[in-house]
A and B are shown apart, each in its own frame.
Chain A
Amino acid sequence: MSRIDYEELLRSPLDDLDSRPPSRVAPLVSGLVVGLLTAYLVFTLLGGDGGAVAEAPPETTTTTVTAAAVAPEYAAGYVEYAPDLAARPEKIVVEDNVVTVAFTSVVARGADPATTPWPHGGSWSLETAAGVALRSDLVEFGVSSPGAFSVRFPAATLGPGEFDTVRLLERWDTDELTATVSLPFVGEPMRIDEPLSVPLSEEVTLLIPTLELGRYQGSIDWTISGAELGATVTCVARLRDGDGGLVGTYEASPSVDALSQSGRIDLDWQRPFPDTQEGAVTVDLEWVVDAATATPTAVEFSLDGVAVGA
C-alpha cells in the first residue's frame, strides 16, 4: 500500500478551503441567518405574533352525532288511549243513518299483546269542522281480534268530508272478578235444578239460570247484576274424581265478547283427556267476569287523511 493512497482516503474536502479565493456570497448568507435568528428572538421575547398563537387556542366546537336509534313507544300514527295501548282511525264508513269509524290498536313497545288489557267499550264523540258533535251508541269488536274495533255514531244528515276529529270521552275498562263454585257431578248430561247465584264482589253478582254439561258440549246462560255497563263472562268447568284428580275439562273457544247484562257460554269437552266423564264426582266451575267501569278521559284522534267510504 503506498503512502499517497493512504492520505487520499483520509482527505476532507474542507482541507482545501483555506486555499480557495474569498467568497462574495458568504457575508450575505451569514447576515440572512443572523437576521432570521434575531427576528425570531425579538418576536418571542416581546410576546409578538408567536405568543398570540400560544395564548389563544382555537375554539373550534365540533358536534359529533352518533347514529343512535330512536325508540318510539308506539308505532307511527298511533295515539295512546289506555295504559300501554294506542289506537289509530283507519276508515270512516258512511251509511244511511250511521257513521262508523274503524280503528286499529297496538300495544306499547315491550308490552305483551296477550296480557295488555284493552277497553271493551267507551263513549266517543265525532266532531265535524262545522262544530257538530255526535255521541257514539256502540263500540264493536270483531270476533277474534281485539286489535280491530269500530265506533258507531247515529247520524242522519252528515256527508263525506265533514269529519274533523273523533274523541274518546269515557273509557270502559274492566275489573276482573273471579270465583270458583263446586257442584256434585252425577253423570252427563248434567243440569242444575235451581238457578245458581255466584257473588263476585259486594256489588256484582252472577246469576246462572241454566247450565248443561253434555257428552261433548255444554252451555251456560248467565245474567249479571251490579255492573251497569255490562260484563263479559267466561267459565271453565273441570270434572274431578274422588281424590280431586282431573278427569276432563269443558272450555269455550277464545273470542272477543261484547259487554252485556246477559249471555250464553258455549263449552266444548276438551281432549286428549279420557273421552268420557266416567269417574267424575264433582265439577269445579271457574268463573272469570270482566265487569266494565267508566274512566273519564280526553283523547283526540285527528281524522285528517282518513279514508271515507261506504
Chain B
Amino acid sequence: MNGAGRFGVGFLIGVILVSAVTTRLAGDEATTTTEPQTSLGTTPTTIEPWFEPGEVMIGATALLPGSLDVKDGIVTFHYDLVGLAPTLVENETAPGLAMPAGDVLEFPEIWQLTTESGKTVGSSTGPRDSSVRFEMPSPDDEVASITLTGWRVLIHIGDSVSVPLENGASGELRRGTVTVSAVLEQSISTVVHIDFEGAEDPWQVRVDLRPLDPHWNVSSRQAGMQLTWNGTDPPPTIVLEDAGYDLVPVSGSLLVYDAAATP
C-alpha cells in the first residue's frame, strides 16, 4: 500500500472512532434525561428539646443527664428531672432552661449499665434520688451505655372511708388502714387521734389523709393525725379521704448515656 492508501485507512479509522465516542456519549446523556434521578435523604426523627439538648423524655418528664463519675469501681450517674405538668408553685430547680419547669410526674426506677466488654449490671433508684450508682463488674472495664428500663408515673386515685367516731373503730383505704385510736372529750372540744398503717412500699410517696368535713381542725401526729372538733357534739362518723398519690410502674427502654456519643 502506498502513502495515499495509508492516509485513507487512517482517515477512516479517525472517522469511525469519533462516531463511536460521540454515539456513546449521546446514549449516556439520553438515559439521564429520560429517567430523572431523585436522591432521597433519611427521614428526620429528632425532636426539638423541651428544656435543653441531650434531655431524655420519660413521658412528660425530661431527664437531664449530668456527670458520670467512676471511682474505685463505682459508677455514679447524676441527673435532674424537670416536668411539663401544671404546678401550684413556680419551680426554680433548674434555671436557664428553654421553658419554665412544671411538676415532675415520672420518676426513674430501674437502670441497666452495659460495659465496653458487653457485661451488664443493674441498679435502682427512688423518687427522691438524683443519681444512680452501679458496681462495675470488673475494674479494668469501661462504661459503654446506661439505659433506663423502668420508671413510675404519679397518678391520683380518689379514695375515702367512713369511720365511726369510737375508740378502736377502723376502715380500709386502698393504701392502708385507718384506726380511731382515741376519742378525748374536752370541756369545749373533742380531740380524735387517727392512726394510719400502710404497706411497706418505698414508692408509696404520699398518703395524705384529710377529713372531708372542713370543720375538723387538723394537726399531724406520729403515724397519724389529730383532729379537733370545736364543741362537744362531733358528728358520729368521720369521713377521711386520701388526697395523695400512687406511683404506678411502667416498663420501657430509654438510652440515657452513650459513651460513643459523648465527647
- Residues of B with C-beta under 8 A to A60: 32, 36-37
Complexed CA–CA distance, A145 and B89 (Å): 9
B100 to A102, Cβ gap below 8 A? no
Complex alpha-carbon distance, A90 and B249, angstroms: 11
B29 within 8 A of A: yes
Interface centre among A31, A59, A69, A103 (most CB of B within 10 A): A31
B158 contacts which of A28, A49, A140 (Cβ < 8 Å)? Answer: A140
List residues of B (69-125) whose CB comes within 8 Å of A's CBs: 83-91, 99-103, 105
User: When A and B form their complex, which 10 residue pairs have the shortest distance between CB atoms, in order from nearest?
Assistant: A35-B14, A31-B10, A147-B85, A113-B102, A65-B41, A32-B10, A264-B214, A49-B26, A39-B18, A140-B158
- B2 → chain A closest CB, angstroms: 8
B208 at the A interface (CB under 8 A): yes
Task: List 10 A-B residue pairs with CB atoms under 8 Å apart, sorted by A's residue number.
Answer: A60-B37, A70-B47, A91-B248, A104-B153, A104-B154, A107-B84, A113-B86, A141-B243, A146-B103, A264-B214
Tell whether B215 is near chain A: CB-to-CB under 8 Å.
yes
Decide if B261 is an interface residue (CB 8 Å cutoff).
no
Among A121-154, those with CB < 8 Å from B are: 138, 140-150, 152
Contact B48 A36 (CB under 8 A): no
A56 at the interface (CB under 8 A from B): yes
Prevailing SS type, chain B contact patch: mixed
Residue B237 CB within 8 A of the other chain = no
CA distance A148 to B84 in the complex (A): 12
B14 touches A72 (CB 8 A): no
| CA of A68 to CA of B42, assembled, Å | 11
| Interchain CA distance A112-B37 in the complex, whole Å | 48
Indicate if A174 sits at the interface (CB-CB under 8 A).
no
Give A78-117 interface residues, CB cut-off 8 Å to B: 78, 85, 88, 90-91, 93, 100, 102-107, 109-114, 116
CB <8 Å contact, A63 and B9: no
> Which B137-153 residues have a C-beta within 8 angstroms of A?
153
B244 at the interface (CB under 8 A from A): yes
